[in-house]
Chain A
Amino acid sequence: MLVGIFAAMFILDLIYTEVYINSISRNKTQYLLKLDEGEKIDYVFLGSSRVENTIVSTKIETLTGKRTLNLGTQSAKLEDINLFLRLLIAKRINLERLFVQVDYIYDINSNSEIVRSQALPFIRKNKVIEDYLKKVDSNYFFNYYVPFYRYAANDYKLGFRGFFASLVGKESNTDFSDGFVPLYGSIKDEIHSRYELPKSIAGSNRNISEIDSLCRANDIKVTYFCAPFCSGLQANGYLKKLKSKLPNFEDFSTLISDDFLFQSCGHLNNHGAEVFTEQLVKQLNL
């Protein structure tokens, strides 16, 4: 019986992996892995939802004529941003300029569970992902060596529903060639109208150093920036300290003064995102 179960796990693993690898892109990791080798993308924005919901790539393309990709992913941290950059480099993407959203995540070296689960189907197929998971995944051994374990243990994201949606080619709501995910509505309550940044800042960040050296080695101009916060931001001098650590850092935290343009204190709504993207193009002379 145990042999039968193991054989079933092995076969299921094969089927699930093949489907996730060959299906249409249903998340940004899949999209990135499907980009053509050597493809030209002028501007790439990396970061968390504060990029995903903020940077309107099509707007930048219209205003500048430059191909732009928003690879912001919900709850992404610097470890995930580092992964995305490495994947872009591994794909030899012809990248002119990279924009990385940094705020309090400068203090954090961890990763996003969402990105981790998106990467799991490729654990044995992509060296960059394998290295990333080796670093961030506490279950790396089981995920790598035990067939089907990664799909069962992450059933909410990679289980049967995800597998079936991929199999039948159900498209995601996000247009990955753009990557922007709009938020609707304005700040509704008191809780979402405030935001406090830490009072102190970490001495350095390993991922930032790695991103810097990767960009240098691959001739990519990197700009760090902080996306807007609402008027309820209590910055505690954090962003000034960040600027002292990152010379190529642009602070846009107070660029949008109208709270009506925010969906929550750290996230612009669709209209706010349009306004900010337009100002960003001007501020950075894109």
Chain B
Amino acid sequence: MLFNSFTFLIFFIVVFFVYWFPLRKKLNAQTVFILISSYVFYGWWDWRFLALIVLSTLVDFYVGKQLDKQEQLQKRKWLLALSVVVNLGLLCYFKYAGFFIENWVIAWESIGVSFNIKSLHIILPVGISFYTFQTMSYTIDIYRKQIKHTSSLINFAAFVAFFPQLVAGPIERASHLLPQFGEKRVFNYGYAKSGVYLVVWGLLKKMVIADTCATYVNEIFDNYDNMNTLSLLLGAVYFAFQIYGDFSGYSDIAIGISRLLGFDLKQNFNKPYFSRSIAEFWRRWHISLSTWFRDYLYIPLGGKRVNALLKTRNVFAVFLISGFWHGANWTYVSWGFLHALYFLPLLLFNQNKKYPNQVNVGFNKHGIVNLLKIGFTFTIVVLAWVFFRAKTISDAFAYIKRAMSNLNFSLEYLSIERYSFEALLLILCFVAVEWFSRNYEHPFLGRFKLLYFTLAVLTIMVFGVYSEHRDFIYFQF
């Protein structure tokens, strides 16, 4: 069930009215209803995979309870290991088993030993990378004695399966989301209105920006060997906006829907393409995942309180695993590797904490320098996106090589019956809106907010892509 589908609209209208009218004063019933709705939402794709969520929920609920009771460190470690093994085991089997077997066979074949292993053809359950990380954070936090376990299985199950963020995040922490299932919910008009604004802004990002860009991106990346430099550069930029519109759009919709149900989810994107350095980019892009890796991998490895060699190891570990988290393909690992390369000098020279605030550009030298830094950061991010989008690493290199060697900047008419530059007009408008609202979560602000909101709705109606329903990119992760 996609957020940008008619089915979801009907589903959510039903959920909203049942939740706020018959169940308004019944907290437990509301939570049970959210749980059932979440399972229906997830089961819409493939009900069989509900078993995985239930298994993950039961194991982590049990482990959390036992961890709180248990004082012996060794036993606590075993309990934590049980949670990690079950969650990562499921993730590894469904997401990475095929990849490891394939690479194992290739490695042996390279030295002349051949195997006859049938491909596993394992179906990847939607959202498995998100909910396994979310449930693991619960047991790890209890192990670290940062939170207490919950005694309500229903609340915990609803926390794991909460439908707005189940399949593509934001990856929530138990300390933030779980207590909300135990708190009385009162419908707040202002809060719900901000939710509607976020839903509409998210839909615009997804249906207008991401899906329009996708048409061009698919055409250009699939035929890169026939494209000229201008089209290839545009293709890479379009992909940057496709993935941003797609993923941040999903997050905005998830946060907005949660607000309509009286829940607060954490911000997942904060205008990442206005970052002045890669470190700032990673504080603004997929915040829930980068902070997850920071808290559960980078800091336990020693973070930056170690020598330069170990710092380097930690940075590469985080970015390579982050790349691998996105999918079982070397292209994602290469993408992570590039970001590690970008990030490392900033860390080693203690520049990674610079720019904690939103960029402020004036008509002066400082402003121009900031713009140049934003341009540079965006350029290297786009370069890494080429690896992320390409089918193979050699495709990515061939794409970049052709972009740098062809040097033909004429406007190409693509076989999708559009000129390669056409989507750029839309992107420029979008960037302008994002720029002027960069200190806020959406652009519906000030005296004319209703007008802006109406324009956004009209934009979705007129420029939205409806004919080819495209899954959100991050569903596959």
Contacts and interface: CB of A to CB of B under 8 A. Distances in A.
A9 B461 contact: yes
B461 A153 contact: no
A153 B457 contact: no
A160 interface: yes
A161 interface: yes
Interface in A1-38: 1, 4-5, 8-9, 12
Contacts of B196: 1
Given A12-B462, A161-B418, A156 B457 contact: no
Contacts of A12: 458, 461-462
B231 to A, nearest CB: 18
B108 interface: no
Nearest to A154: B467
B144 to A, nearest CB: 45
A159 B463 CA distance: 7
B464 A148 contact: no
B458 A8 contact: yes
A155 interface: yes
A155 B466 contact: yes
A152 B464 contact: yes
B171 to A, nearest CB: 31
Interface in A129-162: 148, 152-156, 159-161
Contact of A160 (B454, B463, B468): B463
B465 interface: yes
Interface in B440-477: 454, 457-458, 461-468
Interface string A182-199: 000000000000000000
A155 B464 CA distance: 8
B466 A153 contact: yes
Contact of A8 (B461, B466, B467): B461
Nearest to A5: B457
Interface string B233-264: 00000000000000000000000000000000
B107 to A, nearest CB: 35
A155 B461 contact: no
Contacts of B468: 156
A1 B193 CA distance: 11
B177 to A, nearest CB: 28
A137 to B, nearest CB: 14
A154 B466 CA distance: 7
Interface string B183-218: 000000000000010000000000000000000000
Nearest to B6: A142
A12 B464 CA distance: 14
A156 B465 CA distance: 8
A34 to B, nearest CB: 23
Contacts of A153: 466-467
A165 B462 CA distance: 14
A159 B417 CA distance: 14
B467 A155 contact: yes
Contacts of B461: 5, 8-9, 12, 148, 152
A77 B468 CA distance: 23
B20 to A, nearest CB: 16
A105 B430 CA distance: 46
Contacts of A9: 461
A4 B466 contact: no
A8 B457 contact: yes
Interface of A: 1, 4-5, 8-9, 12, 148, 152-156, 159-161
Interface of B: 196, 418, 454, 457-458, 461-468
Given A4-B454, A8-B461, A161-B418, 20 more contacts: A1-B196, A4-B457, A5-B457, A5-B461, A8-B457, A8-B458, A12-B458, A12-B461, A12-B462, A152-B461, A153-B466, A153-B467, A154-B467, A155-B466, A156-B468, A159-B462, A159-B463, A159-B467, A160-B462, A160-B463
17 contacts: A4-B454, A4-B457, A9-B461, A12-B458, A12-B461, A12-B462, A148-B461, A152-B464, A153-B466, A155-B464, A155-B465, A155-B466, A156-B467, A156-B468, A159-B462, A159-B463, A161-B418
